[in-house]
Amino acid sequence: MDAMESMVEVSVGVPAELWARFETAAADDCLSPAALLAEALSQHLSRRARLRSVSTWDAAQTGFDELAEVDPAFDATGCA
């Protein structure tokens, strides 16, 4: 993250056990919880954008219906 980037302070509720694991992970990576959270959010949004791009591309293609027949468990996830 760029040092000149503006920051926003937010307050969110997180289950205590999840937060404890998160703090441990941050410490293990020598990061502050805020830095790890920013990294995790950035990675999540990037992954989400890539998945949507693939989904859009896939919807425009023809001939991929055979894949669903080969691996119905994969197709049944519905998370595209």
Residue 7 lies in a domain: no
Contact between 50 and 60 under an 8 Å Cβ cutoff? The reply is no
pLDDT at 64: 58
Residue 25 lies in a domain: yes
Residue 45 lies in a domain: yes
Which is higher by pLDDT, 69 or 8? 8
The domain in which residue 28 lies consists of 16-75
- What value does the mean pLDDT take over residues 59-77? 65
- Tens digit of each residue's pLDDT (9 = 90 or more) over 6-33: 989 999 999 999 999 999 999 999 999 9
CA atoms of 32 and 64, how far apart (whole Å): 44
Number of domains in the chain: 1
Indicate whether 73 pLDDT > 80: no
